[in-house]
Structure 1
Amino acid sequence: MMRMAFGFLSGLVFGLGLLISGMSDPAKVLNFLDLAGTWDPSLAFVMGGATVTAFIGYQLVWRRKAPAFEASFDVPTSTRIDRPLILGAALFGTGWGIGGFCPGPAWTALPLLAPGTLVFLPAMLAGLWIGARGKSLNIFARKGATQ
């Protein structure tokens, strides 16, 4: 129960941070990417603040023997840069650049019922479903390669 409560609280703080910083507004993101036009550097400050906060958080957490609500840390072991990673990063970046959304801000913008959000979220969910389905069917792997 505590794990769910802290998960909810963390998501709430994250969502409020997105709203307060304006990152749930796709125009702000698109203006950041428009270097030759209406460039808005505020996203760089948000990312810088997030980087510093994450760095400090990781320094504190890695001093612990285990997380607060689990027996051990669940850390990825793979360092491979493979085709699914490259494809996923390219699709994520393309969607972010076209729509001005990534998943977190898209969910926080949903109550605004903006047309872009109403198109982006179903497309994102469909993409997640297609990706999971493709991964389970192993259609993204190279022929002859083992995962």
Structure 2
Amino acid sequence: MGEHELAKTFRYNQIKELGAKVKLGLTWTEVKGQLVEFTAHDHSHPKSSKIFSELERLTSEAIVHGYECDPSWVTRQLKEGETNLSVLCGHSERIAIAYNFVEEPDTKFIQVTKNLRVCGDCHQLTKIIAKIRQCHIIVNDANRIHHFNPNGQCSCQDHF
């Protein structure tokens, strides 16, 4: 077992032993005057098939532009059939961003609010999406407000 896997297993076991409850991640976004809430891997929205198709498209575009998923942000053991990418792609902020593009494909401004801190992998992906789609994406997370610019930079200068 490599150091990364060892660290992940240690963190997972610590959480389990302490009986710590993991806070449910929620993300909200408003499109066309409608406030929508998403959880991780949320398929409850009537347009979820379109949303996840768009999310897959965004991820594929990002991979072409240099995105590589960072497995260090996966905080639990993978279930059968899961990959690090499939777990990370289910984060609620990614779903909310994809939803915005489903509702307004040429949008130049997206704003989402998340009750937890954005993970580093989602941060990296959002920078690339903002650059590819040439739009501003605001992510208000538990720690700060991130303004992802069309030049692929974030206002936090990657200090999150």
TM-score by length of 1: 0.25
Greater RCO, 1 or 2 (C-alpha within 8 Å, sep 6+): 1
TM-score by length of 2: 0.24
Whose helix fraction is larger, Structure 1's or Structure 2's?
1
Structure number with larger C-alpha Rg? 1
Whose strand fraction is larger, Structure 1's or Structure 2's?
2
